[in-house]
A and B are shown apart, each in its own frame.
Chain A
Amino acid sequence: GNSVTQMEGPVTLSEEAFLTINCTYTATGYPSLFWYVQYPGEGLQLLLKATKADDKGSNKGFEATYRKETTSFHLEKGSVQVSDSAVYFCALSSGGGADGLTFGKGTHLIIQP
């Protein structure tokens, strides 16, 4: 079956530091890949997505590249801000992205001023 593994948290960084949150997946076929984010007190929301190999998803300064050869979709940001503090979830969907999402456990990111 499908599964997603992401790095354990919490991850604590200083403002303006470089961020990487690792995510690897196991799936049959060619899944679509997603990063969702949950800010404090808010609901889950889509951050970015990629639907095929070598696609790069980007939003709000965050990027992730769909790497089929390493089955990875690592989240990166060049300079984090305090407002980026949140829980980040890597997820996948089979069936051309039409199936329900399989999520990782989430990574709690804490940015200190």
Chain B
Amino acid sequence: EAGVAQSPRYKIIEKRQSVAFWCNPISGHATLYWYQQILGQGPKLLIQFQNNGVVDDSQLPKDRFSAERLKGVDSTLKIQPAKLEDSAVYLCASSLARTSGRAGEQYFGPGTRLTVT
């Protein structure tokens, strides 16, 4: 079974530029998450989708971050404009549906390491 795929793996941009990350979850996983992991800290949830609907985006900085999950499969996370403090690893994870009883068992992708200079 293929795991969660993410691209690109690394990205270096200057502040005020824009950037986009892509995620393809495990086939059949209805729930998709984006996390931000700053060096030395645990991942922080940015947004959670169930199919193509948003379940929780309370910690997403909506003035600069946006995310979508068209057709309930792939997802993109965008930052525009980027700030220095956005330097982090962006992790995508997927799991079975919230009603499955196994939603907490999340499968993580390798992450995208973003450096903002």
Chain A residues engaging chain B, CB cutoff 8 angstroms: 4, 32, 34, 43-46, 49, 51, 89, 91, 93, 95-106
Contacts and interface: CB of A to CB of B under 8 A. Distances in A.
Given A93-B104, A97-B103, A98-B103, A43 B110 contact: yes
Given A100-B48, A101-B35, A106-B42, 15 more contacts: A32-B104, A34-B104, A43-B108, A44-B91, A51-B104, A93-B103, A97-B101, A97-B103, A98-B31, A98-B98, A99-B48, A100-B56, A103-B43, A103-B44, A105-B41
A100 B91 CA distance: 13
Contacts, number: 63
A105 B109 contact: no
A9 B45 CA distance: 23
Interface size class of B (residues with CB under 8 A): 20 to 34
Closest 10 CB pairs of A and B: A103-B42, A97-B104, A100-B45, A98-B98, A44-B108, A98-B103, A93-B104, A100-B48, A43-B108, A32-B104
Contacts of A89: 42-43
A101 B107 CA distance: 12
12 contacts: A43-B3, A43-B91, A43-B109, A43-B111, A46-B106, A51-B104, A89-B42, A91-B42, A97-B101, A98-B31, A98-B98, A101-B45
A49 B108 contact: no
B91 to A, nearest CB: 7
Contacts of A49: 104-105
A69 B52 CA distance: 38
Contact of B42 (A32, A100, A105): A105
B33 interface: yes
A103 B58 CA distance: 16
Nearest to A108: B40
A101 B104 CA distance: 7
A4 B42 CA distance: 10
